[in-house]
Amino acid sequence: MTRFLLPLAAFIVLVIFLGIGLNLKPREVPSPLIDKPAPAFRVPQLHEEAKTIATEDMRGKVWLLNVWASWCVTCREEHPLLVEFAQQNLVPIYGLNYKDKREDAIAWLTERGNPYVVSAHDRDGNIGIDYGVYGVPETFVIDKQGIIRYKQIGPVTAEALKDKIIPLVKELNGAK
């Protein structure tokens, strides 16, 4: 009997490991920036080149930083949800337009709606590197002290909003 039980047990263990392996998300590498200050930047705004936008302007409020680009296919998927979420006015969403042509980016927002209070224009992707961006879209939740509290890799989903982002934003806004 043990003759069959042992290989069966070994097989079941293998299947369990395989199952765990299949459910891992190797593309979602945990960011070392969680609970660290958001890297500072001051860059031209997307719509008004003469004006700048900086992380220090956001001191004292909870905000989202959504990294996006007009060439990014997954951003299209995420966009309607962001537009809808922005209308709820729960938290200001700022965009980081990543490695994009200004005209393309503006046209993209005109066509699809603009959920962002302001978008920063990161033409060369240097801010992206500072934020450890490796797959657009990515979204950061940043608290009143300018600390990154959460990072969503890939598109913001309805579940991520409901389970993670909204509760976190409420909690951060509640805490003085």
Partner 1 sequence: MQNKLLFILLFALILPQAQAGEAVPTADDVVLEERVMSVSSELRCLVCQNQTIADSHAELAVDLRNQVREKLRQGMSEQEIKDYMVARYGDFVLYRPLMKRSTWLLWFGPFLLLALAFGVLIVKLRQRRSAIQQASTLSPAEHARAELLLSGTDKEARP
Q: Which residues bind partner 1 (CB under 8 A)?
A: 26-27, 29-33, 99, 124-125, 129-132, 134-135
Q: How far is the CB of 4 from partner 1 (least distance, A)?
A: 16
Sheet of 63-68: strand order equals 119-122, 93-98, 63-68, 138-142, 148-153
Q: How far is the CB of 138 from partner 1 (least distance, A)?
A: 11
Q: Which is nearer to partner 1, 25 or 176 (CB)?
A: 25
CB of 154 vs partner 1, minimal distance in Å: 13
Q: CB-wise, 13 or 158, nearer to partner 1?
A: 13
Instruction: Name which of 39 and 113 has its Cβ closer to partner 1.
Output: 39
Helix (H, G, I), strand (E, B) or coil at 49: coil
Contacts of 2 (CB under 8 A, 6+ apart): none
| Distance, CA of 63 to CA of 90 (rounded, Å) | 10
**Between residues 92 and 132, which has the closer beta carbon with respect to partner 1?**
132
Q: Provide the minimum distance between the beta carbon of 125 and partner 1 in the complex, in angstroms, as a whole number.
A: 5
Choose between 14 and 158: whose C-beta lies nearer to partner 1: 14
Dihedral angle over CA of 115, 157, 57, 68, nearest 10: -70
Enumerate the β-bridge partners of residue 139.
66, 152
> Could you tell me how far CA 47 lies from the centroid of its own chain?
21
Q: How far is the CB of 11 from partner 1 (least distance, A)?
A: 16
